[in-house]
C-alpha cells in the first residue's frame, strides 16, 4: 500500500501544474503558420526516386500544399547547436516536424525559446527526442503518425533475426573477399524453425512480428504490460510471460519492442543480460538507450550474446568510435528500419492529415497523441487502445504502474488517475546453451546382415571450427556422426575433403568403393570417367538435396542407385531465401557497411529500400522448397505467383494464396522479386540468359539458392551492373568452390555467400540421420523411401528425365 500511495503521489505531482504554466494561446483556425521540418539530406540520392519524400529535398511532399494555403515551410537538416538553422527559426515557429531517423531534439530550453510553438509532430513513431514533461507543462500538443512504419520495422526485425541466427554475414564477407570456407559459417548457423523467440513488448510492431513468425513454427513468447485477448493469442500462437526475468533464459532470440522511457532506459544492463541464455541473439529496433552500451559490447565479445542486431543507437548519428561498430557478430545499421520508401509515403500522408486537422481546429486520431491539450501527458500511448501506462523496473522486482483513464464519475476539472502496482519476484536461472531441435544421432549398432563395404565420404573440412559445436557433423571431422556405427559393423569408412584431380584421396579410393557420400556444399563430382573406374560402386548418396554433381545418365547405365535425403534441408533453404529477399528489398547491406565503416548516411540506404509487403514475388519452381517459401511469405501480404511443371492442388493453392502462372515469360515482368527453385537439368542449365533476364521488370531482385548454372554467369553480372537487376543473392555458384575472380563477387548490390543455405546445424543433423537410415536399409537389402531416389534400377526420377 505504501508503494501504491507513493506512486500515486508521484504521478499526481507530475501531472499537476499551476494554471499560469499554460499561458500560450491556442491556435486560431485559418491563421498562417510557420512550419519547420527537420529531415536528413538526400544529397545525390534525392533525385533517384520520385517517392523518396523522407529527405530534406522531398520535404514529405507537402511543400506545394502548405504554401498554397499561405503557410511558411522551412526545411533543414541543420539542427545542432545555438547557431543551427533550427534554432534560428525557433522563436516564431508554430509547428516543428521531425523524424526518429534524424531527430530534432526539442529540449526544455528550446521550448522556452519557442513562444509561438503549438504542435510537435513526429513523422514516424517515437517521440523520445522531445522533452515530454516540458511540452506538457507548456501546453503543447505532441503527436506521431502511429502505425506508419509498423510493417517496415517488423519486417526489418525478422530480417535481422534471420541474418544472425543463420550466420549470414561471415558468409557474405567470404564472398566479397574471394574466400570459400563453409565450415566458418556452418558451425554456428541454425534454422529459425523450432527456436524460442521472445519479444519484450507486444504492441503493434511486436504483434506483427509474431504474426510474421507464425509460419516458422517457432516457440513464440511475449512479455508486455497487458496480455492479448485469448483469441488473438491463439491465432498468433504466442504465450504470455508475466515475468521478464523468467522469460529471458528460455529464449534463443530476444527482440526489444518497448518504448524508451526513464524507466526502460538502460534496462538491459549486465545483470539482465546475464539472465539470458548463453548464445542468445538480441535484436533491438526500439531505442538504443534501452541497452547498456558497454554491457552489450562486452557480452558480444565474451560470446554470451552470440549476435546483436539493430538500427538504433544511444546517440544518433552514432560516432565513429561507438563500441557497437566493433563488436563481433553484429548486424548494425544507421536508423533506417522505419524509413523505407513505403513508410515515408505513409507517414507523409499522416503528417499532411494531422496538419490539415490542426489548421481546421479538429482533433487527431486518438492513438496519434503523445501529449494532448493542457495537462494531459500520455506517458506512453498504448497503440491498441486508449489506456496509458508508465513502466518501472528494478533488478529483483518487476513493477509496472498501470495508469487508467479516469472513471466517468470523476470531475472533468480534476486530473485524477488510478494506479495499479503489480509485482513479480524473480529467481536466478541456470544458463543453458542454444537448444537443438533435432536429437543427436543414435549410433547404436543394427543387426549385421550384409557383407563388409567400403564407404567414402567427401565433406568440407571443419578445421578450427570442428570442436566448437558437438552437433557440427557435416564436416570431415564430424563425418556425419556415423563412423562408430559403421565401423562397429566391420565397414571401412574413408572421409576426406580431397576430391579434385587424379591424385586426390577420392580418386585413389574410387576403384574399390561400394558407396560414395557427398554433399552439395563440397560436392564430389562423380563423372562418367570416375564411374567407369569404380568397379564395385553400388550407391551414390547425397547428404542433402541436389545430385547434379553426378553424371546421372552414366550412373543409370551402370546400374548404380543414386539417392538424396529429400526434405532434409527444405526448411533451411526456404528460410534462407526469405532472408535474402528481405536483405535485398530493404537494402540492408549498404547500411551494414556504413555501421562497420563509421559512417551515417540514411539517404544512401533509404532511397532504394522498400517494404516487402504488397510486392509481387514469383517462384520459378514450386516443389518442397518453393511451397514452403510461399507459406512463409503469406503473412507478408505479398502478391504470390508460381511457375511449375505441375499445378498445386486447388486447396493448397488457396491456403497459401498463390496464383499459378502457365507461362514463365509472362510471369517474369510481373515480379518485383524472382526466386529460383527449379533443379538443374539439361533443360534448365543456362535458363536465365541475357534474353530471359531482359524479360524481367527493370529493378527486379533475384534470389537463387537452387544451382548457379541455371543462370548465365556473365548475363547476371551485366544486368546487375547496368541496373536492370537491382540486386542478386544466392549461395550457389558455377563452379563450386567459386574462384576468387568469379564476376559475381564484384557485382553491385549482391548478397552472395558460399553454398551454406542447406547446411545449418539443424539440417546437418537431419541429413546425417537420413544417410544413416538409407545405409542401414541398403545393407539390409531394403528399399529407401520412394521420394529419395534420383536413379533407381536404371531409371531417372521424373524431374531429371
pLDDT surpasses 50 at 112 = yes
Domain 189-328 is classified in which CATH homologous superfamily? NAD(P)-binding Rossmann-like Domain (3.40.50.720)
The DSSP symbol for 444 reads P
More confident residue, 315 or 374: 315
Band of pLDDT at residue 128, cut at 50, 70 and 90: confident
Band of pLDDT at residue 147, cut at 50, 70 and 90: confident
Closest CA to 586 of 81, 157, 25: 157
| HSE, side-chain direction, 13 A CA sphere, residue 675 | 31
pTM confidence score: 0.85
More confident residue, 7 or 155: 155
Cell readout for 271 is 545483470
The torsion defined by the Cα of 274, 213, 620 and 787, in degrees rounded to 10, comes to: 80
What's the CATH architecture for 578-755? 3-Layer(aba) Sandwich (3.40)
Asked, as a colleague might, if the bond just before 317 is cis with ω within 30 of 0, I would say yes
pLDDT in tens, 598-613: 999 999 999 999 999 9
Closest CA to 314 of 284, 344, 342, 270: 284
- Average of pLDDT values for 139-156? 93
pLDDT in tens, 525-572: 999 999 999 999 999 999 998 888 999 999 999 999 999 999 999 999
CATH value of 34-144 in 1.10.3210.10, 3.30.360.10, 3.90.180.10, 3.40.50.720: 3.40.50.720
Q: Is 769 helix (H, G, I), strand (E, B) or coil?
A: helix
pLDDT surpasses 60 at 241 = yes
* Burial state string for 352-370 with b = 16 or more CB within 10 A and e = fewer than 16: bebbeebbeeeebeebbbb
Strand partners, 541: 517, 563
pLDDT in tens, 33-65: 999 999 999 999 999 899 999 999 999 999 999
Q: What's the confidence (pLDDT) of residue 409?
A: 32
CATH value of 454-569+762-800 in 3.40.50.620, 1.10.510.10, 3.40.50.720, 1.10.10.10: 3.40.50.720
Known binding residues for NAD(+): 204-205, 224, 259-263, 285, 311, 335-338, 624-625, 644, 679-683, 705, 731, 755-758
How far apart (Å, rounded) are the C-alpha atoms in residues 765 and 291?
35
Residue ranges covered by each domain of the chain: 34-144, 189-328, 454-569+762-800, 578-755
Residue 704 burial (CB count, 10 A):
25
How far apart (Å, rounded) are the C-alpha atoms in residues 638 and 612?
7
Known binding residues: 125, 149, 204-205, 224, 259-263, 285, 311, 335-338, 545, 569, 624-625, 644, 679-683, 705, 731, 755-758
pLDDT in tens, 565-592: 999 999 999 999 999 999 999 999 999 9
pLDDT in tens, 739-792: 999 999 999 999 999 999 999 999 999 999 999 999 999 999 999 999 999 999
The torsion defined by the Cα of 681, 682, 684 and 687, in degrees rounded to 10, comes to: 150
Burial bucket for residue 243 (CB in 10 Å: 0-12, 13-18, 19+): middle
Known binding residues for substrate: 125, 149, 545, 569
pLDDT surpasses 80 at 448 = no
Query: For 190, phi and psi rounded to 5 degrees?
Result: -130, 155
Average pLDDT taken over every residue of the chain: 87
Q: Is the dihedral of CA 179, 183, 186, 187 positive or negative?
A: negative
Element containing residue 308 per DSSP (H, E) = strand 305-310
- Taking each helix axis as running N to C, give the angle between helix 588-597 and helix 570-585, from 0 to 180 degrees, rounded to the nearest 10: 70
Q: Is the dihedral of CA 688, 691, 694, 695 positive or negative?
A: negative
Active site residues: 569, 707, 736, 755
How far apart (Å, rounded) are the C-alpha atoms in residues 432 and 430?
7
Closest CA to 752 of 584, 543, 549: 584
Would you say the CATH fold of 578-755 matches that of 189-328? yes
Amino acid at each position: 500500500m505504501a508503494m501504491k500511495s507513493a506512486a500515486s503521489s508521484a504521478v499526481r505531482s507530475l501531472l499537476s501544474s499551476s494554471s499560469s504554466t499554460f499561458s500560450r494561446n491556442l491556435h486560431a483556425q485559418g491563421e498562417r503558420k510557420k512550419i519547420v521540418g527537420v529531415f536528413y539530406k538526400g544529397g545525390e540520392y534525392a533525385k533517384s526516386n520520385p517517392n523518396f519524400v523522407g529527405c530534406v529535398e522531398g520535404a514529405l511532399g507537402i511543400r506545394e500544399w502548405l504554401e498554397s494555403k499561405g503557410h511558411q515551410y522551412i526545411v533543414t537538416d541543420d539542427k545542432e547547436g545555438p547557431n543551427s538553422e533550427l534554432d534560428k527559426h525557433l522563436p516564431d515557429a508554430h509547428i516543428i516536424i521531425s523524424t526518429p531517423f534524424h531527430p530534432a531534439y526539442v529540449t526544455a530550453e528550446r521550448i522556452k525559446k519557442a513562444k509561438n510553438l503549438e504542435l510537435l509532430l513526429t513523422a514516424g513513431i517515437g517521440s523520445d527526442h522531445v522533452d515530454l514533461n516540458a511540452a506538457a507543462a507548456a501546453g503543447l500538443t505532441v503527436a506521431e503518425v502511429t502505425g506508419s512504419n509498423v510493417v517496415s520495422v517488423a519486417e526489418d526485425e525478422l530480417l535481422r533475426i534471420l541474418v544472425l541466427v543463420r550466420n549470414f554475414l561471415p558468409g557474405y564477407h567470404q564472398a566479397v573477399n574471394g574466400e570459400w570456407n563453409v565450415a566458418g559459417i556452418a558451425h554456428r548457423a541454425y534454422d529459425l524453425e523450432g527456436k524460442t523467440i521472445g519479444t519484450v513488448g507486444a504492441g503493434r510492431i511486436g504483434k506483427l512480428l509474431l504474426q510474421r513468425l507464425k509460419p516458422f513454427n517457432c516457440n513464440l513468447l511475449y512479455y508486455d504490460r497487458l496480455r492479448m485477448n485469448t483469441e488473438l493469442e491463439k491465432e498468433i500462437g504466442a504465450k504470455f510471460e508475466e515475468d521478464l526475468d523468467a522469460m529471458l533464459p528460455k529464449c534463443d532470440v530476444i527482440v526489444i519492442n518497448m518504448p524508451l522511457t526513464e524507466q526502460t532506459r538502460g534496462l538491459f544492463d549486465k545483470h539482465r543480460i546475464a539472465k539470458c541464455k548463453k548464445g542468445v541473439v538480441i535484436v533491438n529496433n526500439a531505442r538504443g538507450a534501452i541497452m547498456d552500451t558497454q554491457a552489450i559490447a562486452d557480452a558480444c565479445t565474451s560470446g554470451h550474446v552470440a549476435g546483436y542486431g539493430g538500427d538504433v543507437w544511444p546517440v544518433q548519428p552514432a560516432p565513429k568510435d561507438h563500441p557497437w561498430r566493433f563488436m563481433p557478430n553484429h548486424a548494425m545499421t544507421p536508423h533506417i528500419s522505419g524509413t523505407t520508401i513505403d513508410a515515408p509515403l505513409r507517414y507523409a500522408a499522416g503528417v499532411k492529415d494531422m496538419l490539415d486537422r490542426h489548421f481546421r481546429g479538429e482533433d487527431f486520431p486518438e492513438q496519434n497523441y503523445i501529449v494532448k491539450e493542457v495537462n494531459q501527458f500520455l506517458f506512453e500511448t498504448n497503440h491498441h487502445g486508449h489506456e496509458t501506462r508508465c513502466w518501472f523496473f528494478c533488478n529483483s522486482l518487476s513493477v509496472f504502474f498501470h495508469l487508467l483513464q479516469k472513471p466517468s464519475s470523476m470531475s472533468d476539472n480534476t486530473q485524477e488517475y488510478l494506479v495499479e502496482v503489480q509485482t513479480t519476484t524473480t529467481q536466478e536461472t541456470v544458463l543453458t546453451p542454444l537448444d537443438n531441435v533435432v536429437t543427436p544421432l543414435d549410433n547404436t549398432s543394427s543387426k549385421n546382415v550384409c557383407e563388409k563395404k567400403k564407404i567414402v565420404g567427401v565433406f568440407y573440412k571443419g578445421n578450427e571450427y570442428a570442436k566448437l559445436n558437438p552437433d557440427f557433423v557435416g564436416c570431415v571431422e564430424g563425418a556425419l556422426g556415423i563412423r562408430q556405427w559403421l565401423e562397429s559393423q566391420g565397414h571401412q569408412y574413408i572421409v576426406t575433403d580431397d576430391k579434385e584431380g587424379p591424385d586426390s584421396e577420392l580418386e585413389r579410393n574410387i576403384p574399390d568403393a561400394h558407396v560414395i557420400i557427398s554433399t552439395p556444399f563440397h560436392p564430389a563430382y562423380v563423372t562418367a570417367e570416375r564411374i567407369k573406374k569404380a568397379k564395385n560402386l553400388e550407391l551414390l548418396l547425397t547428404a542433402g538435396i541436389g545430385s547434379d554433381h553426378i553424371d546421372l545418365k552414366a550412373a543409370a547405365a551402370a546400374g548404380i542407385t543414386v539417392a538424396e535425403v529429400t526434405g532434409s534441408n527444405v526448411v533451411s533453404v526456404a528460410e534462407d531465401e526469405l532472408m535474402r529477399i528481405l536483405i535485398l528489398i530493404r537494402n540492408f547491406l549498404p547500411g551494414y557497411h556504413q555501421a562497420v565503416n563509421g559512417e551515417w548516411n540514411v539517404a544512401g540506404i533509404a532511397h532504394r529500400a522498400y517494404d516487402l509487403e504488397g510486392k509481387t514475388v514469383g517462384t520459378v519452381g514450386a516443389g518442397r522448397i518453393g511451397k514452403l517459401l510461399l507459406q512463409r511469405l503469406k503473412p507478408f501480404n505479398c502478391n504470390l505467383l508460381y511457375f511449375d511443371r505441375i499445378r498445386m492442388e486447388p486447396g493448397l493453392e488457396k491456403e497459401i494464396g498463390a496464383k499459378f502462372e502457365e507461362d514463365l515469360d509472362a510471369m517474369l515482368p510481373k515480379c518485383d522479386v524472382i526466386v529460383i527453385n527449379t533443379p538443374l537439368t539439361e533443360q534448365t542449365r543456362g535458363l536465365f540468359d541475357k534474353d530471359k533476364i531482359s524479360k524481367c521488370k527493370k529493378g527486379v531482385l533475384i534470389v537463387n539458392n537452387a544451382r548457379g548454372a541455371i543462370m548465365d554467369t556473365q548475363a547476371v553480372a551485366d544486368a546487375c551492373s547496368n541496373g536492370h537487376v537491382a540486386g542478386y543473392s544466392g549461395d550457389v555458384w558455377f563452379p563450386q568452390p567459386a574462384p576468387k575472380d568469379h564476376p559475381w563477387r564484384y557485382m553491385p548490390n549482391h548478397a552472395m555467400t558460399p553454398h551454406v543455405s542447406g547446411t545449418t546445424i539443424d539440417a546437418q543433423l537431419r541429413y546425417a540421420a537420413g544417410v544413416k537410415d538409407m545405409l542401414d536399409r541398403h545393407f539390409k537389402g531394403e528399399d529407401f523411401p520412394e521420394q529419395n531416389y534420383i536413379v533407381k534400377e536404371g531409371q531417372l526420377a521424373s524431374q531429371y528425365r
